[in-house]
Amino acid sequence: MSLEIVTLPALADNYFFLIHNSETGETALIDAPEAAPVKAALAERRWQLTQILLTHHHYDHIDGAEELRSATGAKVIGAKADAHRLPALDLEVSEGDRFEIAGTSCEVFDVSGHTLGHIAFYLPDEKAVFTADSLMAFGCGRLFEGTPEVMFESLAKLTALPADTTVYSGHEYSAGNGTFALSVDGDNPAVQARVAENARKRDAGEPTGVSTLQLELNTNPFLRCQEKALIRAAGLGTDAAPAAVFAEIRRQKDNF
């Protein structure tokens, strides 16, 4: 099986992802910020859209879904817990469910926090996880609906995946996330190197919203709450629990 995963921009700073199986001709879309760029990308490649996977209900992840379904007949898949806020779903899924997209197995994780009912899609055979606004490149999503405790648990599920998993997140936020990471973990050489590399990529017009779990573990402050530097940055005392450190670091980011 030959799968191709393409990362493409939409709106001001969103990403959407196309997963194409050249053997079967199937193409799955992860999130639908708007229809026009998705249609253009499909037409350019002569791909037929067969499935639309939605991570959460925010408009900048779903607004193009109905138009794309109408144009292509693609099936729409999303969280059962969030079905009342999503376009009509052809398949409702929950944590632990497995189904097939573009000829490969896909597993569902509940990664609530940014919103309640937010899900991530994990493709084990491709070593890829689509996390949208839960685990983000160099950061994590703002907690609009969930508590810090809920998001901390969600991120723990994702960090348990193999370290060589590719992480596809929903936005181009690396500049601001990197600046914040320097403010709380600035002595970390890996953080310094990532900030420099991201600046180079952006200057070259390359996306920085795709990374590896290992890179996130090495540099993402929200995944490093057990480390001394982050405990100091939280200012909660050396015996602070990682979940409490996470809550304080997230509060600091909200006010950064």
Flag whether 133 is marked binding.
yes
User: One of 20, 31, 57, 60 is an active-site residue; which one?
Assistant: 60
Residue 57: active-site member: no
Query: For this structure, is 114 an active site residue?
Result: yes
Catalytic option among 61, 82, 110, 185: 61
Catalytic residue among 20, 31, 57, 58: 58
239 is catalytic: no
57 is in an annotated binding site: no
Structural domains in the chain, CATH included, are 3-254 (3.60.15.10)
The answer to whether 20 is annotated as binding is no
Catalytic, 133? Answer yes
Residue 61 in marked binding region: yes
Alpha-carbon gap, residue 79 to 34, rounded angstroms:
20
- pLDDT tens-digit profile, the chain (256 residues): 579 999 999 999 999 999 999 999 999 999 999 999 999 999 999 999 999 999 999 999 999 999 999 999 999 999 999 999 999 999 999 999 999 999 999 999 999 999 999 999 999 999 999 999 999 999 999 999 999 999 999 999 999 999 999 999 999 999 999 999 999 999 999 999 999 999 999 999 999 999 999 999 999 999 999 999 999 999 998 899 999 999 999 999 999 9
* 60 annotated to bind ligand: yes
Angle at 84 between CA 68 and CA 132, to 5 degrees: 60
Q: Which of 82, 114, 118, 185 is catalytic?
A: 114
**Cα–Cα distance measured from residue 56 to residue 200, given in angstroms and rounded to the nearest whole number:** 31
Whether 61 sits among the annotated catalytic residues: the reply is yes
